Amino acid sequence: MHDELKLSNQVCFRLYTASRLVIQAYAPFLTKLAITYPQYLVLMVLWEEDKQPVNDIAHRLHLETNTVTPLLQRMEKLGIVVRHRGEQDKRQQIVSLTEKGRAMEEEAYSIIPDGMGKKLEPCPLKMEDYASLANELDSIIDTLK
């Protein structure tokens, strides 16, 4: 057996497992909001800056437009966002938060940061460790893009 092929030596496996478990940890909070994790990601993008083109949202999430579009369609059916044609470029779809979507920011803020903080409390990492980890993961993402 080659050491390079041992599961215990794979950083990618740890990233995959951590990602899956973190998303799983978010589930109870997102269930209260009646949204999925990918929908939460879209909302965070729009809470930072409302009225964005679909392409910009997809770019921020490192996803293809054809992956984001069905997600936005479901969110539109839930009354969280609306899509309309761009004023300068009619081919462009602009996504905006509805009143419900804007209100969800405060609801999310009231449950998610503290809830996830409590779930991660037993972990020995400190806040500065998470910031460092985020920077290291950004380097991996930027390299592989």
The band of 81, judged by pLDDT with boundaries at 50, 70 and 90, is: very high
According to the model, what pLDDT value does residue 139 have? 96
Pairwise CA distance, residues 11 & 120, whole Å: 21
Q: Which of 25, 18, 34 is nearest to 108 (CA)?
A: 34
Pairwise CA distance, residues 69 & 92, whole Å: 12
Pairwise CA distance, residues 84 & 91, whole Å: 10
pLDDT tens profile 122-132: 999 998 999 99
Q: Where are the beta strands (DSSP E) in the chain?
A: 52-53, 81-85, 93-97
Mean pLDDT over 96-101 rounds to 98
Q: What is the pLDDT of the chain when averaged over all its residues?
A: 95
Whole-model pTM: value is 0.92
Pairwise CA distance, residues 129 & 60, whole Å: 24
According to the model, what pLDDT value does residue 48 have? 98
Mean pLDDT over 7-13 rounds to 94
Task: At 83, give phi and psi (nearest 5°).
Answer: -115, 140
According to the model, what pLDDT value does residue 63 have? 96
Measured N-to-C along each axis, helices 11-33 and 99-120 cross at an angle, to the nearest 10 degrees, of: 130
According to the model, what pLDDT value does residue 86 have? 76
